[in-house]
């Protein structure tokens, strides 16, 4: 899941919520049942890709807050994420870092570092991104909606991609946001089972709203 978006998108089936992914890729032979927690990298490995940021914990002054503040992508991004999320995969490769979380609420939340220069005009950044989506077999069904986060400006997209699985073709729908800060550009992907991506859950609204791109 490194390199350009065109190279990453064929792996989109891996971003599907954990239960659906396993159901679509299970082997013909019997296999042990996997629980949500089996998909985690484990606390020891998570520490390689995530640094605590207590100032973003919420509610404040609680021993076990519902949301925990973290730094990811080698310090490029800070945000407040639900405590119950698990990290499924990640990389700190320079210029191609990413972090992939899964939620027990059946969605994936993924942040990628983009190689583009953040100072480039939006028209140039969006044209390159849309070309990559098309080259990877994706379809843009909603494009370029301006959004703002705690520290960053973005453009939101709705994407449909047909993913080949052992159970047959599967239509995957994702919300994707190009976010830029002063020095970096990142891509956020939210992939979930529901057909309607318009109404985000409160926990997603907080996670996205607190994103700081540095």
pLDDT of residue 29: 41
pLDDT of residue 40: 56
- C-alpha to C-alpha distance for 97 and 111, rounded to whole angstroms: 8
* CATH superfamily of domain region 5-213: Mog1/PsbP, alpha/beta/alpha sandwich (3.40.1000.10)
- C-alpha to C-alpha distance for 172 and 16, rounded to whole angstroms: 8
Please give the full DSSP string across 104-134, using - where no structure is assigned.
Answer: TTTEEEEEEEE-S-TTS-HHHHHHHHHHHHH
64 CB contacts (<8 Å, ≥6 apart)? 83
pLDDT of residue 176: 96
- C-alpha to C-alpha distance for 90 and 92, rounded to whole angstroms: 7
pLDDT of residue 53: 97
The pTM score is 0.81
Say if residue 147 is exposed, middle or buried (CB neighbours under 10 Å; 0-12, 13-18, 19+). middle
Using CA atoms in the order 121, 124, 125, 129, what is the torsion angle rounded to 10 degrees? Answer: 170
- C-alpha to C-alpha distance for 183 and 149, rounded to whole angstroms: 16
For the chain, 214 residues long, give each residue's pLDDT as a single digit of tens: 444 555 555 345 445 544 444 333 333 444 444 444 444 566 668 999 999 999 999 998 888 999 999 999 999 999 999 999 999 999 999 889 999 999 998 889 999 999 999 999 999 999 999 999 999 999 999 999 999 999 999 999 999 988 888 888 888 889 999 999 999 999 999 998 655 544 568 899 999 999 999 9
CB 152 within 8 A of CB 212: yes
CB 131 within 8 A of CB 36: no
pLDDT of residue 11: 44
Q: Domain-by-domain residue ranges, the chain? A: 5-213
3-state helix, strand, coil in the chain (%, to 5): 25, 40, 35
Residue 148 is encoded by which pair of tokens? 């703002």
pLDDT of residue 199: 53
């Amino acid at each position: 899941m490194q390199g350009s978006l065109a190279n990453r998108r064929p792996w989109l089936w891996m971003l599907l919520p954990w239960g659906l992914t396993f159901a679509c890729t299970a082997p013909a032979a019997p296999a042990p049942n996997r629980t949500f927690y089996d998909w985690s990298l484990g606390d020891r490995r998570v520490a390689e890709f995530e640094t605590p940021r207590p100032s973003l914990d919420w509610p404040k002054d609680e021993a076990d807050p519902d949301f925990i503040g973290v730094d990811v992508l080698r310090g490029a991004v800070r945000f407040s994420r639900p405590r119950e999320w698990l990290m499924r995969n990640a990389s700190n490769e320079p210029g191609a870092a990413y972090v992939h979380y899964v939620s027990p609420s059946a969605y994936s939340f993924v942040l990628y570092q983009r190689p583009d220069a953040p100072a480039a005009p939006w028209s140039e950044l969006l044209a390159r991104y849309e070309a990559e989506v098309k080259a990877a077999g994706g379809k843009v069904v909603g494009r370029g909606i301006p959004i703002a986060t705690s520290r960053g400006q973005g453009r939101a997209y709705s994407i449909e991609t047909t993913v080949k699985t052992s159970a047959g073709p599967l239509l995957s729908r994702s919300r994707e946001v190009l976010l830029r800060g002063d020095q970096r550009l990142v891509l956020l992907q939210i992939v979930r089972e529901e057909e309607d991506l318009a109404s985000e859950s409160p926990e997603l609204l907080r996670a996205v709203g607190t994103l700081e791109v540095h």
